[in-house]
């Protein structure tokens, strides 16, 4: 049975850099607070209304196709992970497909927030192993900046998020020394409302009201401290589960790429796994939290800088709204 391997990667962020200091025009915050609590120094935001997530994904896909020396017509399938779709429906996968001009191939949308790329990777890996599809475009793309609460209640979440897209093209390999070794996915819906966006919603009637808008129910809300604690514990557990499934331990890890929600979360995970600085990669200082895009953006940067090389044992892990979380083990 073949495994999935990464054929190529790419990413794209909008041109507009937004520094922590600039955020002070909307929120009572400071560069020092944001750096100390989160590690974020800047993020990229779209020009409002000019670019949707699928536009960012298109640029990232073009980069990955060029590097793979492939044409979009060679893709068999699109898997698109996002919590900020261009529209409520249809899913963003079809918009990206239309922009790529490859009609007919399936486009699956994944709604697992910060863990979306890993859920998508698990699906792509299964489809490649079973020979259902040979060339899968896996996307994580977000536009958060147009959905932030610029009022006082939005301060805690508003400073965290950035826009961006990262993609991977996956294909089969028969080599037994590389590829996706396994994926490990988890969820616990008991905590759904600790990080969520309440409206508009088909579970409510009306789906959205003027009162909802006045009360800010259209914005994401988070109980940050609770989420922080769970993020550390669940990512740790799932990394150990992924390594344990192969009789490996933290000492075998060449590179850990964790979801970029808060540098402090990743520092605790690094400490608990006892990993040296050269065994982990973080880029949240430059991009903020780009949700489903954080892992593919980080992977692409590691490929381009040479930190990911043939033979590297890579561990990916993520945690987010749902709660959902998971890990993947990849021999590059
Ligand atoms: N600027 C300045 N002060 C802020 C602020 C901001 N942007 N956001 C919150 N504060 C204030 C709070 O009002 C509070 O003030 P008080 O002590 O006077 O009440 C104080 O800072 C501490 O708030 P708290 O929410 O306890 O901060 P924290 O240390 O937990 O950091 C997060 C907040 C959001 C950075 C942190 O909780 C976090 O990263 N959580 C997890 C995020 C995550 O993993 N998400 C999952 C994937 S998206």
Atom of ligand 1 nearest to the CA of 228: 41
* Residue identifier of the C-alpha nearest atom 34 of ligand 1: 224
Domain over 3-173 is classified CATH 3.40.47.10: yes
Ligand 1 centroid to residue 230 C-alpha, Å: 15
Q: What is the mean pLDDT of the chain?
A: 97
Can you give the pLDDT at residue 181? Answer: 97
Exactly one of 184, 259, 266, 282 is catalytic; name it: 259
Clarify whether 114 is annotated catalytic.
yes
Ligand 1 atom at minimum distance from 227 CA:
41
What's residue 177's pLDDT? 84
Residue 176: pLDDT band by 50, 70, 90 thresholds?
confident
Whose C-alpha lies nearest to ligand 1, atom 10? 156
3.40.50.720, 3.40.640.10, 3.40.47.10, 3.40.50.150: CATH of 179-331: 3.40.47.10
The pLDDT tens digits for 79-110 are: 999 999 999 999 999 999 999 999 999 999 99
For the purposes of burial, counting CB atoms within 10 Å of the CB of 189, is it exposed (0-12), middle (13-18) or buried (19 or more)?
exposed
How many CB atoms within 10 Å of residue 229?
Answer: 12
User: Residue 121: is it exposed, middle or buried by C-beta count within 10 angstroms (0-12/13-18/19+)?
Assistant: buried
- Residue 289 CA to ligand 1 center (angstroms) comes to 14
- Distance of CA 35 from the midpoint of ligand 1 (Å): 12
Ligand 1 atom closest to 156 (CA): 8
What's residue 170's pLDDT? 98
CATH 3.40.47.10 residue ranges for the chain: 3-173, 179-331
What's the pLDDT at 330? 98
Q: How confident is the model at residue 196 (pLDDT cuts 50, 70, 90)?
A: very high
């Amino acid at each position: 049975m073949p495994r999935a391997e990464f054929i190529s990667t790419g990413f794209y962020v909008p041109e507009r850099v937004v520094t922590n200091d600039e955020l002070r025009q909307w929120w009572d915050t400071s560069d020092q607070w944001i750096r100390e609590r989160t590690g974020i120094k800047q993020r990229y935001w779209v020009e409002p209304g000019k670019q949707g997530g699928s536009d960012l994904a298109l640029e990232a896909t073009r980069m990955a196709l060029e590097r793979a020396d492939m044409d979009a017509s060679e893709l068999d399938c699109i898997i698109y992970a996002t919590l900020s779709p261009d529209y409520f429906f249809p899913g963003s996968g079809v918009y990206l497909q239309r922009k790529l001009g490859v009609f007919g191939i399936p486009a699956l949308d994944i709604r697992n927030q910060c863990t979306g790329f890993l859920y998508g990777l698990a699906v792509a890996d299964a489809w490649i192993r079973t020979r259902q599809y040979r060339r899968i475009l896996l996307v994580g793309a977000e536009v958060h900046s147009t959905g932030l609460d610029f009022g006082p209640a939005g301060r805690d979440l508003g400073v965290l998020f950035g826009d961006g897209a990262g993609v991977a093209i996956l294909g089969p390999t028969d080599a037994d020394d590389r590829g996706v070794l396994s994926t490990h996915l988890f969820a616990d819906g008991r905590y759904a409302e600790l990080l969520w966006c309440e409206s508009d919603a088909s579970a409510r009637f009306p789906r959205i009201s003027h009162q909802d808008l006045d009360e800010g129910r259209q914005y994401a809300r988070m109980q940050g401290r609770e989420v922080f604690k769970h993020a550390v514990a669940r990512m740790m557990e799932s990394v150990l589960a992924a390594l344990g499934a192969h009789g490996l331990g933290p000492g075998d890890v060449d590179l850990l790429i964790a979801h970029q929600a808060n540098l402090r979360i990743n520092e605790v995970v690094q400490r608990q796994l006892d990993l040296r600085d050269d065994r982990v990669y973080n880029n949240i200082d430059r991009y903020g939290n780009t949700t489903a895009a954080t892992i593919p953006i980080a992977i692409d940067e590691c490929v381009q800088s040479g930190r990911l090389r043939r033979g590297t044992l890579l561990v990916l892990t993520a945690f987010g709204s749902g709660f959902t979380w998971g890990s993947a083990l990849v021999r590059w």
